[in-house]
Chains A and B, each alone.
Chain A
Amino acid sequence: MLLNSMANAAVLASGESISSLVPKVEELIVGLVGFLVLLWILKKFAYPQFEATFQERTAAIEGGIEKAEKAQEEAAAALAQYQAQLADARGEASTIRSEAQAERARIVDEARSEATAAAEQVTSRAAAQMEADRLAAKAELSAEVGRIALDLASRVVGEALSDDARARATVDRFINDLESSTQEGTR
C-alpha cells in the first residue's frame, strides 16, 4: 500500500503528460499482428503435436495396462489348465492302478483256474490210464484165463480144443457168465 502510494506520488511529481498511457497505433498493429501470427503458427505446428503426444501417451499407458491384464489372464488360464491336467493325471493314475489291481486279480484267478484245470486233467488222464490199464489187464487176463482153462480142460478131457471156434465160444460164454456172476456178486 505504502509502496503504491509512493509510486503514485512519484508519477504525479514528475508532472509529465499522460500521453504514454494512450495507445499508439503502431503498438496496436504490431501487438495484434504479432499475437495473431504467433497464435496461428502455434495452433498449426505446436499444439496439435502436444495433443497427439498426450493421446499417444494415454494409449501407451492403457495398452500397457491391457497387456498386463491379458498376461494375467493368460497366466490364470495356464494355471487352470495345469491344474486340470494334474487332476486328469491323478485320475488316470488311479484308473491305471485300479485296472492293474483288476488285472492282477484276473491273472491270479486265471492262473488258479488253469492250475485247477491242469490238475483235473492230470487226474482224469491218470484215471483214464488206469481204466485203460485195467481193461487191458482184464482182457489179457481173461484171454490168459481162457487159454489156461482150455489147456486144463483139454488136458482133463484129453481132447484138443485149441483152435476150435466152438471151444472158443464156450470159453467166452463161460467167462461172460463168470463176469456177470461176479458183477452180481459185487452188488
Chain B
Amino acid sequence: MSSTAFVSMNSSVVAAGEGFVPPGIGEFNFDPYFSDGTLPWLTKPLVASVVAAIMVMAFFILGSRKRALVPGRFQFATESVYTFIRNGVARDVIGHGFEKYVPYLVTAFAFIAVNNLFGIIPGIQFPTLARFGFPLTLAICSWLIYLAIGIRRAGFFGYFKSVMFPPGLPVFIYPLLAPIELIQVLLIRPFSLALRLTANMFAGHILLLLFTLGGTYMLFNESILLKVLAPFALASAVGLTSFEAFIEVLQAYIFTLLSALYIAEAMSEEH
C-alpha cells in the first residue's frame, strides 16, 4: 500500500506545492477494490488477513505432512515455530494441562506475526492488525477462553468471587480492589491486548511512512540543505524497517504470552 500511497502523497505534495503533508490517520483507511460499488467491503486489509491465514495454514500443513524423524530444513523451521510457543510459552507459563491450549496459542502467534510482518513486506506494506477490528477479534477469543476456563473451574459466581475477593488481604482493601479487579478482567485485559497490537502497528507504520515520504519530499525539494539531509532520513527508514520487523514479531509474542498468562491464572485455584 505504501507504494501507492507513496505515489499519491508525492503527487499531492507536488500538486499542492505548499510544503510537506505528513502521513496521517487517512493512511489507514482503504477504498474498496471496485470503485463501481460492487463488494464495497472488499478492502486491502481484509484480503491481506485472508492471505495471512492461508500462508500460515500452508506453512504448518506442508511442514507437518512428512513427519520425518530426522527433519529437513522446512520441517525443522515449522517445528521450531510450533515448539517455540508450545514449550516456551504454553508449557512454561501454563504448566500442567497446557496441551489443550497449544493450538490456540500457536495459531494466534503465527497469524499475528504474519499479519504484522505484512507491514514491511514489499507489495503489501501494511500491517493488517493496525486496523483495530482484527486484533479485537483475537483479544475477544483470548478473553472468552480465559473466562470459560475460570467459570468452568469455579462456577460463575465462584470465579468472579475469586477474581474480586482474592483471599489473604485486609478487609478494608476489598471495596477498592474488587471493582478494579472486575473491570480489569472484564474490560481492561481484552482491550489492552487489542490496543497494544493496534497501537504498535499503527505507530510503526506511521513512522515508516513519515521517514520514507519525508525523505522523498526532502530529496525532491529545491532546498540544498534538505537534499543533503534526505539520505539520512531514507537511511533511517531502512533502519526502522528492520526495527519494525523485530517489533512485529515481538508484539505477536507478547500477545501470545499474555494470553497464556491469563489462561494460567484462570486455571489456578487461587487468584
Docked Cα-Cα span, A145 to B78, in Å, equals 141
Contact A27 B133 (CB under 8 A): yes
For chain B residues 48-95, which have a beta carbon within 8 Å of chain A? 49-50, 53, 56-57, 60-61, 63-65, 67-69, 71, 78-79, 82-83
Are A47 and B23 in contact (CB-based, < 8 A)?
A: no
> Which residue of the partner chain A has the closest CB to B136?
A23
B24 and A13: CB pair below 8 A?
Answer: yes
Q: Is the CB of A46 within 8 A of B46?
A: no
Known: A30-B49, A30-B50, A38-B111. A47 touches B82 (CB 8 A): yes
The residue on B at minimum CB distance from A30 is: B46
Q: Does the CB pair B137–A46 fall under 8 Å? A: no
B261 contacts A by Cβ under 8 Å: no
Give the contacting residue for A23; candidates B68, B71, B111, B133; CB below 8 A. B133
Hey, which chain A residues are within 8 Å of B170, CB to CB? none
Let me know if B41 and A26 touch, CB within 8 A.
Answer: yes
Residues of A within 8 A of B69 (CB): 53, 56-57, 60
Residues of A within 8 A of B133 (CB): 23-24, 26-28, 31
Chain A 108-137, CB within 8 Å of chain B: the 1/0 string? Answer: 000000000000000000000000000000
* Distance to closest chain B CB from A4 (angstroms): 6
Assembled-state Cα–Cα distance A16/B206 (Å): 14
Does the CB pair A7–B134 fall under 8 Å?
no
A32 to B102, CA, bound (A): 18
A26 to B16 CA separation, bound complex (whole angstroms): 35
- Does residue A186 face the partner (Cβ distance < 8 Å to B)? no
Render B1-37 as a binary contact track against A, CB cut-off 8 A, 1 for contact: 0000000000000000000011111101100000000
CB–CB A20/B57 < 8 A? no
Q: How far is the CB of A1 from chain B (nearest CB, A)?
A: 12
CB within 8 Å: A-B pair count? 138
A7, B207: Cα distance in complex, Å: 6
A-side interface size class:
35 or more
Contact with A14, one of B26, B64, B67 (Cβ below 8 angstroms): B26
Which residues 42-67 in A have Cβ within 8 Å of B in the complex?
A: 42-43, 45-47, 49-50, 52-54, 56-57, 60
B189 at the interface (CB under 8 A from A): no
Known A-B contacts A26-B41, A27-B131; A49 and B23 likewise in contact (beta carbons under 8 Å): no
Contacts of B53 in A (CB 8 A): 34-35, 37-38
Cβ contacts under 8 Å, B108 to chain A: 35
Question: Most chain-B Cβ atoms within 10 A of its Cβ — which of A16, A39, A45?
Answer: A39
> Once the chains are docked, how many angstroms separate the CA of A49 from the CA of B29?
40
Residues of A within 8 A of B22 (CB): 9-10, 13-14
Q: A56 touching B24 by the CB < 8 A rule?
A: no
Residues from chain B with Cβ under 8 Å of A32 in the complex: 137, 140-141
A38 touches B107 (CB 8 A): yes
- Complex contact B24–A42 (CB within 8 A): no
CB pair B57 A53 closer than 8 Å: no
Closest A residue to B112 by CB, please name it. A35
Shortest CB–CB separation between residue A62 and chain B, in angstroms? 13
In the bound complex, do residue B25 and residue A20 qualify as a contact, i.e. CB atoms below 8 Å apart?
Answer: yes
Q: B104 near A: Cβ within 8 Å?
A: yes
B183 in the interface (beta carbon within 8 A): no
* Chain A positions near chain B (C-beta within 8 angstroms): 3-4, 6-7, 9-11, 13-24, 26-28, 30-32, 34-39, 41-43, 45-47, 49-50, 52-54, 56-57, 60
Q: List 27 A-B contacts (CB under 8 A).
A: A6-B210, A7-B203, A7-B206, A10-B24, A15-B24, A16-B25, A16-B26, A17-B25, A20-B28, A21-B25, A21-B198, A24-B133, A27-B45, A27-B131, A31-B137, A34-B49, A34-B53, A35-B108, A35-B111, A35-B137, A43-B103, A46-B64, A47-B60, A50-B79, A53-B69, A53-B79, A54-B83
Q: A14-B25, A42-B61 are in contact. List 14 more A-B contacts (CB 8 A).
A: A13-B22, A14-B21, A14-B23, A18-B25, A20-B131, A21-B28, A24-B131, A24-B133, A27-B134, A32-B137, A41-B57, A46-B60, A47-B64, A53-B79
